């Protein structure tokens, strides 16, 4: 029996949630946020050229993505029942609306 996209994604989100609740992930996120804060606060003093600022901006955006990933995955899990997947037929969608 093949798994639906919904089942596969739910399993992935459950595994991610298990990762996000570990002590190691908490330490990692704390470190990322500290580096992010430092990069933001020192940008004006450290970036005296446009190229340096663009490099700094790229690092800040990358860290913002990393920091936001777990929040986005948890939000997806919170709203999971409202999501529609490509392999769900109109019949499935109609039964969900009832």
What is the DSSP secondary-structure string of 66-93? HHHHHHHHHHHHHTGGG---TT--HHHH
What is the residue whose two structure tokens read 């901006």? 57
The residue ranges of every structural domain in the chain are: 5-81
Closest to 85 (Cα-Cα) out of 8, 14, 12, 16? 8
Tens-digit pLDDT profile for the chain (98 aa)? 457 888 999 999 999 999 999 999 999 999 999 999 999 999 889 999 999 999 999 999 999 999 999 999 999 989 888 888 877 765 554 555 55
């Amino acid at each position: 029996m093949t798994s639906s996209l919904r089942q596969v994604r739910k399993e992935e989100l459950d595994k991610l949630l298990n990762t996000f609740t570990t002590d190691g992930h908490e330490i990692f996120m704390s470190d990322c946020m500290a580096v992010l804060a430092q990069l933001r606060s020192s940008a004006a003093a450290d970036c005296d050229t446009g190229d340096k600022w663009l490099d700094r901006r790229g690092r800040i955006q990358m860290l913002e993505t990393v920091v936001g990933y777990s929040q986005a995955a948890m939000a997806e899990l919170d709203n999971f029942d409202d999501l529609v997947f490509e392999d769900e037929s109109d019949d499935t969608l109609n039964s969900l609306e009832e």
